[in-house]
């Protein structure tokens, strides 16, 4: 990709003293325009407009161009495509496995040089002049960053050769907002069944059996991400998924994975065959749409989905949605005769990556400094509080939870009117409260070129096995081959 990063933009006219344009006739001054890609829908983009307005007011002459290519994978595809033409954005939403694919371009910015910089910076943008009083955050502000989120952005978390050329503590990404998976449940249904909220998967399957007996047309459990389910069970049960070791990253074809997949399969008398489960791909939509119907109408009792999607889990007038951690597994991980609950949950949600040198800008160092100022606006306490309330995601700073506005929201009250939240917002607040208590359970998978493919294959593996289209052994063997791995090297 590097050879493309200096591609001359032939249709632009280079005149000494004139600004650089990324495309002929675009009229955009990319020397003073920060290009930001996200997967935000219109409602969240409206929230982000506040951060953009704050930035542009503070720094006259600078603007932010916010582009929404689609979902996370669409952002990945557009950034990769743009990198080949030197048109990469200055800032983008990302997951770690996305950034693993950007590192080879040499454009990913190590944000450590700006993180706590006390330096000021003066600029001239056309007829405007301005000053950045302090480029970086204070040490006190950085101390408020939730450690588990913050550490995800270090180069040490990446296993691609390009990351090996960076210091282990190089800051490749900063968290924006985060989410995890939660167990949404129907308290009325559990009361009818005379059961408690399950702590383990065994308890959940027992409740599923009771639910099918009580409501034969219901599907007790919906899981909104097949890939997350596989990856989470690998973590909880202790079988392999992927490895950071170069040469054979793909270790998911193993006895533990086969045993678990078989237990949930559509074969014989296993859980899918008993109609205990559906998933997003099989149902054809997020299973929250089934959850809110209630089991009496053929819906779900439980739905496992993102804390960021809590607003879709409201039972409305039918029932008040309950929120709990996902179930776990008791196992003796240390072989010392003591079983402990392993209820790890996946860390997800967008981080921010800075990319340098895009769109023909002639001032890459200045662009980096000013892009970082926009990052600071996105991570400011008040903006994080309002974005978290609107999105259902958790803020990336501890001090946001101390913000009076957000704190009142978490108690179930509207911070503007002080009235009780409506049913939907109550679920969002409950999800945020639950997810905040789980940060010590969060985990992430190794990031390398090919980890995105592995994740996509896990979606297919779970689907094939549930539908009875492939045995667990065949589905996993095919997935290793699709990832370019060696099935014979599996453990």
* Mean pLDDT of the 286-310 span: 96
Question: Which CATH superfamily groups domain 181-346+442-489?
Answer: Periplasmic binding protein-like II (3.40.190.10)
Residue 14 confidence (pLDDT) above 70:
no
Residue 349 confidence (pLDDT) above 50:
yes
Residue 22 confidence (pLDDT) above 60:
no
pLDDT at residue 167, as a whole number = 87
pLDDT at residue 163, as a whole number = 75
Q: What percent of the chain has pLDDT over 90?
A: 84
Non-local CB neighbours of 269 within 8 Å, separated by 6+ positions: none
The pLDDT tens digits for 36-75 are 999 999 999 999 999 999 999 999 999 999 999 999 999 9
The pLDDT tens digits for 94-152 are 999 899 999 989 999 999 999 999 999 999 999 999 999 999 999 999 999 998 899 89
Q: Quick one: pLDDT band at residue 365, thresholds 50, 70, 90? A: very high
pLDDT at residue 248, as a whole number = 81
- CA gap 302, 199 in Å, rounded: 13
The pLDDT tens digits for 318-335 are 999 999 999 999 999 888
- By the 10 Å C-beta count (0-12 exposed, 13-18 middle, 19+ buried), 308 is classed as buried
Q: Quick one: pLDDT band at residue 21, thresholds 50, 70, 90? A: very low
Q: Quick one: pLDDT band at residue 466, thresholds 50, 70, 90? A: very high
Q: Quick one: pLDDT band at residue 489, thresholds 50, 70, 90? A: low
* Mean pLDDT of the 300-325 span: 96
Neighbours of 40 (CB within 10 A): 18
Q: Quick one: pLDDT band at residue 488, thresholds 50, 70, 90? A: low
Fold of 20-178+348-390: D-Maltodextrin-Binding Protein; domain 2 (3.40.190)
Q: Quick one: pLDDT band at residue 160, thresholds 50, 70, 90? A: confident
Q: Quick one: pLDDT band at residue 1, thresholds 50, 70, 90? A: very low
The overall average pLDDT reported for the chain is: 92
Nearest residue to 48 via CA among 93, 102, 107: 93
User: Which residue intervals of the chain bear CATH 3.40.190.10?
Assistant: 20-178+348-390, 181-346+442-489
């Amino acid at each position: 990709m590097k050879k493309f990063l200096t591609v001359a933009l032939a249709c632009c006219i280079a005149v000494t003293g004139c600004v650089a344009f990324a495309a002929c006739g675009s009229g955009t001054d990319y020397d003073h325009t920060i290009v930001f890609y996200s997967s935000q829908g219109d409602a969240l983009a409206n929230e982000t407009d506040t951060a953009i307005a704050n930035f542009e007011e503070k720094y006259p002459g600078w603007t932010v161009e916010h582009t929404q290519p689609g979902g996370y994978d669409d952002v990945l595809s557009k950034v990769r495509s743009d990198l080949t033409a030197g048109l990469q954005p200055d800032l983008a939403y990302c997951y770690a496995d996305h950034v693993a694919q950007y590192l080879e371009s040499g454009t990913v910015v190590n944000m450590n040089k700006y993180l706590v910089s006390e330096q000021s910076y003066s600029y001239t943008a056309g007829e405007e002049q301005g000053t950045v009083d302090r480029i970086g955050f204070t040490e006190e502000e950085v101390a408020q960053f939730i450690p588990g989120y913050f550490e995800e952005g270090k180069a040490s978390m990446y296993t691609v050769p390009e990351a090996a050329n960076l210091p282990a503590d190089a800051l490749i990404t900063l968290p924006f907002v985060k989410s995890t998976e939660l167990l949404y449940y129907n308290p009325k249904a559990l009361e009818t069944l005379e059961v408690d909220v399950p702590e383990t998967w065994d308890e959940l399957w027992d409740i599923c059996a009771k639910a099918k007996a009580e409501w034969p047309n219901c599907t007790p459990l919906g899981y909104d991400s097949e890939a997350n389910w596989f990856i989470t069970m690998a973590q909880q049960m202790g079988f392999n998924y992927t490895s950071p070791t170069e040469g054979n990253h793909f270790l998911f074809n193993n006895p533990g994975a086969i045993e678990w997949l078989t237990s949930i399969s559509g074969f014989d008398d296993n859980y899918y065959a008993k109609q205990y489960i559906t998933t997003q791909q099989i149902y054809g939509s997020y299973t929250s749409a089934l959850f809110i119907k209630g089991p009496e109408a053929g819906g779900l009792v439980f739905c496992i989905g993102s804390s960021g999607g809590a607003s879709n889990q409201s039972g409305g007038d039918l029932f008040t949605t309950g929120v709990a951690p996902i179930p776990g597994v008791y196992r003796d991980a240390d072989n010392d005769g003591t079983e402990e609950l392993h209820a790890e949950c996946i860390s997800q949600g967008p981080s921010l990556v800075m990319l340098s040198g895009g769109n023909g800008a002639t001032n890459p160092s200045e662009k980096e400094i000013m892009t970082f100022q926009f990052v600071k606006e996105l991570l400011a306490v008040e903006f994080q509080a309002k974005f978290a309330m609107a999105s259902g995601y958790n803020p990336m700073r501890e001090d946001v939870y101390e913000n009076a506005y957000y704190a009142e929201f978490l108690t179930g009250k509207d911070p503007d009117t002080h009235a009780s939240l409506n049913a939907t917002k109550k679920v969002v607040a409950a999800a945020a409260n639950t997810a905040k208590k789980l940060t010590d359970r969060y985990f992430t998978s190794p990031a390398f070129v090919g980890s995105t493919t592995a994740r996509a294959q896990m979606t297919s593996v779970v689907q094939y096995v549930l539908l009875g289209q492939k045995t667990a052994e065949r589905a996993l063997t095919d997935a290793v081959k699709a990832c370019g791995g060696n099935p014979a090297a599996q453990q």
